[in-house]
Amino acid sequence: MKKFFIALVFSIILLFVTTNQEAYSWGFFAHKKINRMAVFTLPEGMIGFYKHHIEYISEHAVDPDKRRYANPDEAPRHYIDMDKYGKYAYDSVPHKWKDAVNKYSEDTLKAYGIVPWYIEKMLSRLTEAFRTENMDLILHYSADLGHYIADSHVPLHTTSNYNGQFTNQKGIHGFWESRIPELKSEGYDYWVGKAKYIDKPIEKAWSTVKASNAALDSVLKFEEKLNAKYSPDKKYSFENRGKTLIKVYSVEYTSEYNKMLNGMVEHRMRAAILTVGSMWYTAWVNAGKPNLDKFDNKEISDSLKQFNKAEEQLKNDTNKEVKGHND
């Protein structure tokens, strides 16, 4: 009877406590960390420039998420719903954009997400920024490219069931990519080695999506099994965030889930760090390895500062409905 009363009280409290967590892919912390650590994968000729601007690269890793509420075309750039293309999607969906458009139409592709193709597009833009030696655009596209690459490493960014809404697991998106790193990331090994040149970037983007999607079954099934063992008062707890009391997954529940995943979140973060660094490096090489030392005493332009200020305002505009994945 006592247990029933506790569970009842807990359920009532849930009705009145804010449950809103960061609705952004990977969570702001993880995105910033991935871009920051990717800087240390870079070779001589690049690392000095990127280290000088490491705060910009890190802080602006989250800019694409801020745009989701202002630009209706933004959301599909963060994911791809592989399940919409059938059981053998990796083989049936053309990896080249033009071939995919010819087979499915551009509207269909955007409806199901375009992250692998958008990574290729952003890589092209970064390459051109290096080629024209435009420092502002190098920094802008580096930060953005890192974000989309990081998103492609998340299993829940490869399915229409992105937040467990079809399997009675609503909230699992933020649980996997925000709550686990929040509690466990201090013990992660972020040193992943040196960036490597990528011969076929679009194939790399697709292989990343394939690996993420292959992990999806474990992400969902392990949480389903764990949920069956926990009552709501053990599964969730409450924490103060500023002046707001919010409901979060409990430390015990999070630790057990992380153990079942066998370090999956850390592994995907590490893979993302190396891929981000390697894509930056690939763009630089393809642009002819321009001398970045010339930017040693140069800071970002006033126009980029104004652009960044405008984007900063977008993060407060979070009440609009987002077409596509809304974590």
Q: Kindly report the pTM of this predicted structure.
A: 0.89
C-alpha span between 45 and 38 (Å, rounded): 15
Contact in structure between 284 and 38 (CB atoms under 8 Å): no
SS3 74: coil
Tokens 């972020």 sit on residue: 190
Half-sphere exposure of residue 152, counting CA atoms within 13 Å on the CB side?
Answer: 30
C-alpha span between 96 and 38 (Å, rounded): 27
Q: What is the pLDDT of residue 16?
A: 34
Mean pLDDT of the chain: 89
Q: What is the pLDDT of residues 243-270, one digit of tens each?
A: 899 999 999 999 999 999 999 999 999 9
Phi first, then psi, for residue 276 (nearest 5°) are: -60, -50
Q: What is the pLDDT of residues 31-70, one digit of tens each?
A: 999 999 999 999 999 999 999 999 999 999 999 999 988 8
C-alpha span between 313 and 133 (Å, rounded): 29
Contact in structure between 115 and 148 (CB atoms under 8 Å): yes
Residue 14 has pLDDT above 70, yes or no: no
CA-derived radius of gyration, the chain: 21
Interacting residues of 192 by C-beta distance below 8 A, sequence separation 6+: 37, 41, 270, 271, 273, 274, 277
Mean pLDDT of 210-215: 98
Q: What is the pLDDT of residues 98-151, one digit of tens each?
A: 999 999 999 999 999 999 999 999 999 999 999 999 999 999 999 999 999 999
Q: What is the pLDDT of residue 325?
A: 80
Question: Where in the chain are the domains?
Answer: 2-314
Q: What is the pLDDT of residue 298?
A: 81
- Ranges 197-201, 205-209, 311-315: which has the least confidence: 311-315
Q: What is the pLDDT of residue 316?
A: 57
Contact in structure between 39 and 47 (CB atoms under 8 Å): yes
Q: What is the pLDDT of residue 300?
A: 80
The CATH topology of domain 2-314 is: P1 Nuclease (1.10.575)
Q: What is the pLDDT of residue 168?
A: 98
